[in-house]
Amino acid sequence: TFSNEFGEVVEATVQKAPDTGLQRHFVFDADAINGNAPLQNWQKFWLVVSAYGYNEIGVPKILESPLVSIEVVPQGVEGGILPSSNSGDLIAYFANADSLENADHTQGTSDGQLEIEVVDPINVTDSNYEITFEVDDSTGAIGWNVTSGSEVKVSGWDNQDAADAGNFPLVDGVIVRMMGPPEGINEVDRSVDPPGGERWVSGTDWGGSHLFGGLDIGANFFGSTVSLTDYVTVDVRFTSDSTSMSEATGWSRAYTYRRDLGYAAQAL
């Protein structure tokens, strides 16, 4: 920043904001200029959304887009209109087969979750919507689409991270959050008891998700090139008779990595 006092460029904080990711909508319900007083109908407000970039070695280090204001006037709903929901209402969701509302998981076995939250009640429509998924053959990236009848509302949306809650699309007055499950082991079921009823192995706790901290996916230990679309249910069995579960019957032998030898692969 150029300082008239010093007659030269000096360093000063020009922009200060947390890096919290993208936000697709913004709601304000108080007058921040007047001590967060309640909003008054028909009182005009002017809002500005700008973009700025940071260049550590640039002069200046901050460049900001031109400030273009938008006039906003709070007001009540027009006469004769009765919204069926309010801003912030969760009008549809799907967590699992036992936890759902106005939504069905019709195909596939994903553990992903869906939330439909009202943002603008006036624009909510009485329509049916379908969410489908597609995989980019060249990159392996998973995108999802939202359609209503023959109309495509959203195409190839790639965010499925629940932590990035603001980066989901707005469709007809609602925000659609299609959230994929976290990478990892969904559950472990020890359905077949070993002879004598005693467990043969115990996990060594290195921070894994299961087996006393000793079991997790390879991506959280060695690293992995396996994509989410390649994950499958795995059945692990221990046997003294290798012929009873051969490759010919669909089984594969597991690699052995010895912790006392720096986790080098020892054998199949």
Domain hosting residue 235, numbered range: 195-267
15 found inside a domain: yes
pLDDT value at residue 32: 87
121 and 83 Cβ atoms separated by less than 8 Å: yes
Same domain, 54 and 21: yes
pLDDT value at residue 258: 78
pLDDT value at residue 192: 62
Same domain, 67 and 123: no
| Tokens, residue 126 | 């009485």
Tell me, what amino acid is at 17?
A
239 found inside a domain: yes
pLDDT value at residue 46: 92
Alpha carbon distances (Å) from 261 to 53, 224, 239: 49, 21, 24
- Sign (positive or negative) of CA dihedral 65, 71, 76, 81: negative
What ranges in 82-175 are assigned the alpha helix state H? none
How many residues in the chain? 268
Taking Cα atoms as reference points, which of 52, 46, 47 lies closest to residue 66? 52
Please identify which residue in the block is written with the tokens 């030898």. 261
| Tokens, residue 53 | 């970039």
pLDDT value at residue 150: 92
Domain-terminating residue out of 109, 144, 179:
179
244 found inside a domain: yes
| Residue 229: CB atoms within 10 Å | 10
113 found inside a domain: yes
Q: List the chain residues with pLDDT less than 70.
A: 1, 191-197, 228-229, 242, 267-268
41 found inside a domain: yes
Same domain, 98 and 35: no
Q: How far apart are CA 49 and CA 109, in angstroms?
A: 41
Taking Cα atoms as reference points, which of 118, 121, 127, 123 lies closest to residue 151? 127
164 and 22 Cβ atoms separated by less than 8 Å: yes
pLDDT value at residue 170: 93
Taking Cα atoms as reference points, which of 163, 109, 165, 101 lies closest to residue 133? 109
pLDDT value at residue 176: 95
**pTM of the complete model:** 0.65
pLDDT value at residue 128: 92
Q: Phi/psi of residue 93, each to 5°?
A: -160, 160
188 found inside a domain: no
